[in-house]
Structure 1
Amino acid sequence: MAAPDGVASGAVRAAVPPVSLSPSRAGDFMQCPLLYRFRVIDRLPEKPSEAATRGTLVHAVLERLFDAPAAERTPPRAKALIPGQWDRLRESRPELVELFADDADGERLARWLSEAERLVERWFTLEDPSRLEPAERELFVEAELASGLRLRGIIDRVDVAPTGEVRIVDYKTGKAPRPEYAEGALFQMKFYALVVWRLKKVVPRRLQLVYLGSGDVLTYDPVPADLERIERKLHALWEAIRLATETGDWRPRPTKLCGWCDHRAHCPEFGGTPPPYPLPLAPAAPPVQGRMGAD
């Protein structure tokens, strides 16, 4: 799970230049630089979604299940955790009340919770938690590269074999991507692997994406050359973010994902106007004057 840096919450915070990069925010910039600005610079509020909130709930259940002894990590035990974790989630994020505000009879909420149960049950067909003892769960990691770029994120699960080999595991409540899109799906995992490599001087043996929506498991075994490539990519991304931050030039990048965006009212592609830029702009460089020729 990526670190929620820069995403607006109910509280209004003063705008500050970005100081770190997480997989989710890197993904935002690659998808649409203006979306990155709205989330990280302007911190515009976003409505909670049923799908994302269900994902948060399922992650919480799978994390808490490992508190139980191995023999008690069963589907009934996991499903029994759902109501309590849902209550805790609503207490920590009051804005979630609006998700089912118009659901007077509770039918939509019941269907939503049933889908969460199905996702949790499917996990048991993909992994056996009675045979797993994670070294870390919901692990916050942060590393500063030699360039000064700070990378951060939250890893769902870290497994360490008796031989010392590290496996990074991430749960996805959606469906696995088609093979031609697998590289994009692995970006987040390679990001985490790079952070672990720079922190621990160990290249993770395996990266594993567990797709609960479709019942698929995607694995990848990285090598240092992979992580060096992702490091170069992140440096290029950060340089583009730095330039946009200084100039205020955040270009929209229209795609089919625009239909899901909360910020169309502020987007020029949909006739909107972004809010006034809240950060100081770097002074424009003076034009370079060439020398006049003798003739």
Structure 2
Amino acid sequence: MTSTTPAPALEPLPQAVVGSLSPSRASDFKTCPLLYRFRSIDRLPETPSRDAARGTVVHAVLEHLYELPATQRTVTVAQADVDPSWQALCEAEPELLTLFDAELDAPALAAWLDSARALVANYFELEDPRRLEPESREQLVEVVIDGLRLRGYVDRLDVSPAGDIRVVDYKTGSIPREAYEAKALFQMKFYALVLWRTRGVVPRQLRLIYLADKDTLSYSPDPDELTRFERTLQAIWKAIATASLTGDFRPSPSRLCDWCSYQPLCPAKGGTPPPFPSDALASASASSASASTRPGPVEPEV
């Protein structure tokens, strides 16, 4: 009698990925397809912004805060971290040094740093960090659904002993009016969908913390809503893929144009975009040939 050795179990093949989408890039395309193209395909640099830089500094301070023992998480300690966080950001992104002239803008820089410290102080009026122990901060979350990779970074993830999940995002601007709440929650629903698909649990709460107004916006999603949102993201990617096959990313003028760095290149403002990158067209065609149901370029993972 001969014995046979069972064949080793085959590892499942990884799911083919033909595209990648983050909440910010999906929002870009919804806002203005040409903005998406400039940022994600042309990868054109943008003019540094004092408001954006301040937001980055405040986010860094709040991330560092939860690296400390709970008893040390005080407003004084957090505010003291503003200057070092600004210096670290300038070292990582030297172009930000152009925001303030070292000699002429010294008072403006001091006022700007004070405004960042004020935002940090506002945070302590909304939450007591000594009573919180987040599961993670600046956590990368990602999942592949039908060949589309969804990925993004969550500011803070809280998980209760019972397993309830709260997704927290810090905003240094003002809380939106009710008519614009859906747009504000787009990013949070994106995270909720990825967490649901990876953990099998729908987050109990999505919480946006608006430091300028010392206010919060909270929302509780449900599975049916996230299923519909998933279809929305797939439709956005299909539209991106279709535009990539032709290079046809049209501008969508709105009040947001006033804050756009790309106005000199925008046809809606009398500008002329650069030629559509030939390698992007080639990538779109190749993806179309290998995945006829979902053509499109592989988006830079941002």
Please confirm whether the aligned pair reaches a TM-score higher than 0.5, indicating the same fold: yes
1:13 matched residue in structure 2? none
Q: Which residues of 2 match residues 38-187 of structure 1 at below 5 A?
A: 38-101=38-101, 104-145=104-145, 147-187=146-186
- RMSD of aligned Cα (Å): 1.3
Tell me, in whole angstroms, the C-alpha distance in 1 between the residues paired with 2:235 and 2:224. Answer: 17
SS at match of 1:229: helix
Structure 2 gap segments, 5+ residues each: 1-17, 286-302
- The structure whose RCO (Cα within 8 Å, separation 6+) is larger is 2
How far apart, CA to CA, are the structure 2 residues paired with 1:224 and 1:154? Answer: 21
How much has 1:208 moved relative to structure 2? 0.3
| Alpha-carbon offset, residue 19 of structure 1 | 3.0
Does the 8 Å contact 2:59/2:170 carry over to 1? yes
Distance 2:105 2:260 in 1: 29
Shift of 1:103: 5.3
Residue 20 of structure 1 aligns to a residue whose secondary structure is: strand
Aligned partners of 1:237, 1:170: CA distance in 2, in Å?
A: 23
Indicate if the aligned counterparts of 1:267 and 1:273 stay in contact, CA closer than 8 A.
Answer: yes
Work out whether residues 137 and 157 of structure 2, in 8 Å CA contact, stay in contact via their aligned partners in 1. Answer: yes
Q: TM-score, normalising length from structure 2?
A: 0.85
Question: Percent identity, aligned pairs only?
Answer: 56
Whether the 8 Å contact between 2:19 and 2:147 is mirrored in structure 1 is: no
CA distance in 1, matches of 2:31, 2:86: 31
CA apart distance, 1:102? 6.6
Distance 2:235 2:117 in 1: 41
Q: Structure 1 224/105 Cα, relative in aligned 2: closer, same or farther at 3 Å?
A: closer
TM-score (norm 1): 0.87
Q: Is the 8 A contact 1:265 1:273 kept in 2?
A: yes
Aligned to 1:188: 187
Aligned length: 265
Unmatched 5+ stretches in structure 1: 1-17, 284-295
- Equivalent position amino acid for 2:172 in 1: T
Say if 1:103 and 1:109, in contact at 8 Å, map to a contact too: no
Query: Whole-Å Cα distance in 2 between the matches of residues 137 and 105 of structure 1?
Result: 33
Paired letter, 1:265: P
